[in-house]
Amino acid sequence: MTDKAQKSKLGKVYISASFNNTLVTVTNDKGDAISWGSSGSVGFKGTRKSTPFAATTAVEKVIKKAKENGVEEVEIYVKGPGPGRDAALRAIRASGVRISQIADVTPMPHNGPRPKKKRRV
């Protein structure tokens, strides 16, 4: 990555909160990854990865690295139903970066899968 691409003031934070882990990625405005982390990469194992505290710790680490690369304002995209989603938002709020947008991009089925065929007796 070039220095120009890395030193973007606007960043995008993608939070994927599953029931087992919380993944956080910070990209610049073009989509190049600046920093990333997860509850597991911070050092939590097993069921402790799925706690709000683990998500907060992961976000703090990732945002700190992003701030070192010049990110001052972020757009946040949250995906998934996990317990770390609200805690991750609070951690970003407390980190001091400006939040311009928060979007929930959780995929929702429109019609679901095809139903089972009718039972014949």
Q: Which class is domain 8-104? A: alpha beta
Report, as an integer, the average pLDDT of 13-40: 94
| Mean of all residue pLDDT scores within the chain | 91
Is pLDDT above 80 for 5? no
Distance CA 76, CA 89 (A): 8
Question: Predicted confidence band at 3 (pLDDT cuts at 50, 70, 90)?
Answer: low
Interhelix angle 52-68/84-95, nearest 10 degrees: 40
Note the pLDDT of residue 20: 94
Contact 100, 72 (CB under 8 A): no
pTM of the model: 0.84
- The H-or-E segment that residue 22 falls in is strand 22-28
Using the predicted structure, report yes or no on whether residue 74 has a pLDDT greater than 90.
yes
